[in-house]
Amino acid sequence: MTPEVPTVPAAWPIRDPDRGRRNLTALAEHLGPAAFLELMGPLARWLPRSPDPDLALNNLERVLARPAARTMLPALVEGRGRTLDTLLRLLGASLFFADVVSADPEAVELLRGPARHPPAVDELAAQLRADVDAAGDEATVLRAFRRFRRRQILRIGVNDIVRDRPLEEVTRDISRAAEAAIEVAVEHARRRLADRYGEPLAAGGRPGRLAVIAFGKLGGEELNYSSDVDLIFVHDAEGETRGRRRIEAGEFYGRLVSEVVRLLSAHTPDGQAYRVDLRLRPEGRRGPLSRTLASTLSYYDAMGRTWERQALIKARPIAGDPDLGREFVQAIEPFVYRKYFSFSEIN
C-alpha cells in the first residue's frame, strides 16, 4: 500500500510545490510505505541544505526510480542521514551527478567517510589496472574504464561541491584521473598488440618507446567535468615488429592509438569514459595517429603554423615512456619561444 503523501512541508524551500508533491508521490511508489517513511525524516532534515532543493528532490526521485539504486537506501539514512545530506547537495548542483549515481549506485560508498587528500596518478592507475587485469572479456574491460571515471568524478564532485575545495585542486584531480586512465589504456592496448605482432624494435635492438603528450586543458591540468582530452602520440621505432606476424612499427603504433581511443571513447551501454581528440597532432586528421619523434619535430620546424606552435606551450607528457616524453618537451622549446610570426600568418 502506498502511504498518504502530505503536501510539501512549508519549511522546505521548494519553489514548485506541485512538482515537489509529485516527486514525493513517486518516491513513495518506488520505495513502499516502510522505506518511504524511513526516508522522510532525514529528507526533511537535509533537503533545505541543498543548493537547489527543487532540483535535488527531482533528481533523488529519478535516482531511486531505478531498482538497483534502491539498495543504497540503508546507507543513505543511517547515522542521521549524513550520506543523504551529501547526496542531496550533489543532486542539487546538477543533473550530471544524478546520472553518475544512477549508473553506479554502489558508488554511494564514496560519499561516506572523512575527506582525504586527492590520490596521486600512480595510485589511481593501480586501482584501474587491477580492475582491467581482472576483467574476463573486452566488454568488462570497457566497463572498468567507464566505472573508474564515474567513481572518480563522484569523489571529486564531493570535494568540489560539498567540501568546497579550491578550483585548481579540483581541475588537477580531474586531470590526474584522466592521466591514469590513459596510462592503463596504453598498457592494455600495447600488451594486446604485442601478443599478436611482437614488439617493434628501435635502434640497437631495444624495444620501441611510445610517449603520450597532453595538450590543452589536460596539458595544463585544467580539465573540467566534461572536457575532451587533447593528445598526440610519438614513438621512436622505425623498423618492424618481431612477432610471428610482423608489421611496420608505424602501423603497430597507429593500431595502438586506435585501440586506446576505443578503450576510452567507444560508446557502450555504460557510456564513454573520455572523449579523445587527436586533431592537434601534426597534419591534423590527415596525419598518422602516431609518428616518430624526429618526424614530429621536423613538422613543427618546417610546416607547423603559428597556432600549432602556440599549442605546444601546454604540452606535457602524461603516459607511456617518461624518458621519450621528456625528450619531446626539451626538443620543442625552440618552437615554443622562437618568433615565427609573419605577415601572412597574422592575416
Residue 82 three-state SS: helix
User: What is the pLDDT, as a whole number, of residue 212?
Assistant: 98
pLDDT tens-digit profile of 176-186?
Answer: 999 999 999 99
Residue whose C-alpha cell is 527531482: 58
Q: Is the pLDDT of residue 1 over 90?
A: no
Position 322 in a domain: yes
CA atoms within 13 A on the CB side of 242: 10
Position 211 in a domain: yes
User: How far is residue 277 from each of residues 207, 231, 284, 287, measured CA to CA in Å?
Assistant: 27, 6, 10, 13
209 with 330, same domain: the answer is: yes
193 with 323, same domain: the answer is: yes
Percent of the chain with pLDDT over 70: 94
DSSP code, position 4: P
CA of residue 53 relative to chain centroid, distance: 28
Q: Domain of 29? A: 17-111
Highest mean pLDDT among 97-106, 123-132, 156-165, 306-315: 123-132
Q: What is the CA radius of gyration of the chain?
A: 25
CA of residue 6 relative to chain centroid, distance: 41
99 with 191, same domain: the answer is: no
106 with 193, same domain: the answer is: no
Judging by beta carbons within 10 Å of its beta carbon (0-12, 13-18, 19+), is residue 65 exposed, middle or buried? middle
Phi, psi for 192 (deg, rounded to 5)? -65, -45
Query: What is d(CA 300, CA 298) in angstroms, rounded to the nearest whole number?
Result: 6
Position 151 in a domain: no
Position 33 in a domain: yes
Q: Are 248 and 240 in contact (CB under 8 A)?
A: yes
Position 140 in a domain: no
Query: What is d(CA 194, CA 271) in angstroms, rounded to the nearest whole number?
Result: 28
Q: Which of 61, 77, 111 is the last residue of a domain?
A: 111
Which grid cell sits at 304? 607547423
What number of residues does the chain have?
Answer: 347
User: What is the pLDDT, as a whole number, of residue 342?
Assistant: 42
Provide the residue type at 35 as one letter. Answer: A
User: What is the pLDDT, as a whole number, of residue 103?
Assistant: 86
User: What is the pLDDT, as a whole number, of residue 244?
Assistant: 85
Dihedral Cα 121, 126, 129, 133, nearest 10 deg: 170
Q: What is the pTM of this model?
A: 0.90
102 with 201, same domain: the answer is: no
β-bridge mates for residue 177, sequence order: none
Confidence of residue 344 (pLDDT cuts 50, 70, 90): very low
User: What is the pLDDT, as a whole number, of residue 72?
Assistant: 87
User: What is the pLDDT, as a whole number, of residue 211?
Assistant: 98
pLDDT tens-digit profile of 302-341?
Answer: 888 888 888 999 999 999 999 999 999 999 988 776 544 4
Query: What is d(CA 145, CA 166) in angstroms, rounded to the nearest whole number?
Result: 27
Which grid cell sits at 193? 598488440
313 with 227, same domain: the answer is: yes
Provide the residue type at 323 as one letter. Answer: D
216 with 100, same domain: the answer is: no
Position 145 in a domain: no
Higher pLDDT, 8 or 176: 176
Query: What is d(CA 119, CA 110) in angstroms, rounded to the nearest whole number?
Result: 14
User: What is the pLDDT, as a whole number, of residue 343?
Assistant: 35
Provide the residue type at 274 as one letter. Answer: Y
Give me the chain's average pLDDT, please: 90
Query: What is d(CA 54, CA 92) in angstroms, rounded to the nearest whole number?
Result: 7
Highest mean pLDDT among 9-18, 113-122, 229-238: 229-238
Query: What is d(CA 325, CA 260) in angstroms, rounded to the nearest whole number?
Result: 18
Number of domains in the chain: 2
Position 62 in a domain: yes
Phi, psi for 235 (deg, rounded to 5)? -140, 175
Q: Which of 60, 88, 111 is the last residue of a domain?
A: 111
Q: If you average pLDDT over residues 183-209, what whole number do you get?
A: 92
331 with 192, same domain: the answer is: yes
Query: What is d(CA 233, CA 260) in angstroms, rounded to the nearest whole number?
Result: 11
Position 241 in a domain: yes
230 with 342, same domain: the answer is: yes
User: What is the pLDDT, as a whole number, of residue 4?
Assistant: 64
104 with 251, same domain: the answer is: no
DSSP code, position 204: G
User: What is the pLDDT, as a whole number, of residue 6?
Assistant: 64
Angle made by CA atoms 310, 316, 318, in degrees to the nearest 5: 150
239 with 340, same domain: the answer is: yes
Q: Which of 111, 126, 147 is the last residue of a domain?
A: 111
Q: If you average pLDDT over residues 81-94, what whole number do you get?
A: 93
Residue 246: give its domain's CATH number: 3.30.460.10
Confidence of residue 347 (pLDDT cuts 50, 70, 90): very low
Which grid cell sits at 92? 542539487
206 with 331, same domain: the answer is: yes
